[in-house]
Amino acid sequence: GENVEQHPSTLSVQEGDSAVIKCTYSDSASNYFPWYKQELGKRPQLIIDIRSNVGEKKDQRIAVTLNKTAKHFSLHITETQPEDSAVYFCAASPYGNNRLAFGKGNQVVVIP
């Protein structure tokens, strides 16, 4: 089955700086790559996703890039704010969104 790895496991950034989290996946058939954000004590929520037919997608301060050849995708957060502090999970699936394999999560800490 699909195996997703995230790194670094913890990332600390100064407020206003950029944060980048990278994920690698194993199944070349994967075609759907979402990112979920989980704030402390809350449920995971989708923040952005990308499908294999595009290389980049942006939504305000967040963007996701996909490199199918290298089998990795990254989340970019610009102008980080304290409310960006959370655990971010990447996921991948060769079945659309119906059987997502999640990574172990990245703890992002934005230092005011």
Partner 1 sequence: EAGVTQSPTHLIKTRGQQATLRCSPISGHTSVYWYQQALGLGLQFLLWYDEGEERNRGNFPPRFSGRQFPNYSSELNVNALELEDSALYLCASNAGTSGQNTGELFFGEGSRLTVL
Of the two residues 17 and 39, which places its CB atom closer to partner 1 in the complex? 39
Smallest separation, CB 87 to partner 1 (Å): 9
Residue 73 to residues 23, 40, 106, Cα–Cα distance (Å): 5, 24, 14
Token pair listed for 61: 């301060």
Site string for partner 1, 30-49 (x = CB under 8 A): --x-x-x-----xxxxx--x
Smallest separation, CB 24 to partner 1 (Å): 14
- Please give the residue ranges that form the binding site for partner 1 (CB under 8 A): 1, 6, 32, 34, 36, 42-46, 49, 89, 91, 96-105
